[in-house]
């Protein structure tokens, strides 16, 4: 007859395996948060205290739809999340992320990402409803705006001036934090498994 496997403490072993995922989630949130906080703080530190352009500064009695530059609003809008994001159309979900939640912050962060020379100029009298063009009286308005905002940091389309700059300076420490969490969860599983004994019955 074939031999049998005698598992002593199998219920406790199953419990340890069930605890692995919660362990990983708890530890990863703690480790990743500790790694993201310095990046958030640095990103906030890159926000210029005043508008990089005089025409972008807040002023009274204006009906402009373009949001005015407020450094305090941009700073408050930069934060992090360690809870999973919604799954996107490609099936991906972010386990943790740093976000710039304000409209003005997003403009400062990413302006010029698609076109480093600024939007195509069509002038104030041009027809059409396209939002991807410049209708300013100044033909060089788009180029001047992008130039005044300064350098974009990052690679390819993933570039920015605040979060991406801080992330680039981090040099992968935040990524390392997740792997550190995985190793800690693995260590916890090994410690719990050490008390279990799997033997082959006669």
Q: What is the pLDDT of residues 125-140, one digit of tens each?
A: 677 777 777 777 777 7
173 CB contacts (<8 Å, ≥6 apart)? Answer: 35
pLDDT of residue 187: 79
Cα–Cα distance, 109 to 164 (Å, whole number): 8
Query: E strands along 10-140, which residues?
Result: 78-81, 97-100, 120-121, 133-134
Distance between CA atoms of residues 28 and 49, nearest Å: 34
Max intra-chain CA distance, the chain = 92
Residue identified by tokens 């389309």 is 157
63-105, pLDDT tens digit by residue? 567 788 999 999 999 999 988 788 888 888 777 889 999 999 9
| Vertex 19 angle, CA 16 and 20, to 5° | 90
> Angle, nearest 10°, between helix axes 173-193 and 163-170?
60
Pairing of strands 120-121, 97-100: unpaired
69 φψ region: left (φ > 0), alpha (ψ -120 to 50), beta (else): beta
Residue 27 near residue 184 (C-beta atoms within 8 A)? yes
Sign (positive or negative) of CA dihedral 41, 46, 48, 53: negative
What's the predicted TM-score (pTM) here? Answer: 0.74
pLDDT of residue 195: 55
**Selection from 4-8, 73-77, 111-115, 117-121 with the highest mean pLDDT:** 73-77
Query: Pairing between strand 133-134 and 120-121?
Result: parallel
3-state secondary structure at position 80: strand
According to DSSP, residue 113 is labeled S
Residue keyed to tokens 């992330």: 167
Distance (Å, whole) CA 132 – CA 77 = 25
């Amino acid at each position: 007859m074939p031999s049998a496997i005698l598992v002593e403490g199998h219920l406790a072993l199953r419990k340890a395996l069930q605890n692995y995922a919660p362990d990983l989630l708890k530890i990863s949130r703690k480790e990743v948060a500790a790694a993201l906080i310095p990046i958030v703080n640095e990103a906030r530190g890159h926000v210029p205290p005043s508008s990089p352009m005089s025409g972008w500064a807040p002023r009274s009695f204006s009906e402009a739809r373009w949001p005015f530059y407020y450094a305090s609003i941009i700073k408050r809008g930069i934060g992090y999340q360690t809870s999973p994001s919604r799954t996107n159309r490609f099936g991906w979900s972010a386990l943790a992320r740093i976000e710039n939640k304000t409209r003005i912050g997003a403009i400062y962060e990413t302006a010029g990402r698609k076109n480093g020379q600024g939007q195509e100029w069509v002038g104030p009298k041009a027809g059409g409803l396209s939002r991807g063009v410049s209708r300013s009286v100044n033909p060089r308005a788009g180029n001047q705006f992008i130039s005044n905002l300064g350098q974009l940091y990052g690679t390819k389309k993933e570039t920015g001036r605040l979060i991406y700059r801080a992330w680039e300076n981090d040099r992968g420490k935040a990524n390392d934090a997740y792997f550190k969490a995985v190793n800690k969860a693995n260590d916890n599983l090994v410690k719990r498994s050490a008390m279990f004994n799997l033997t082959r019955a006669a």
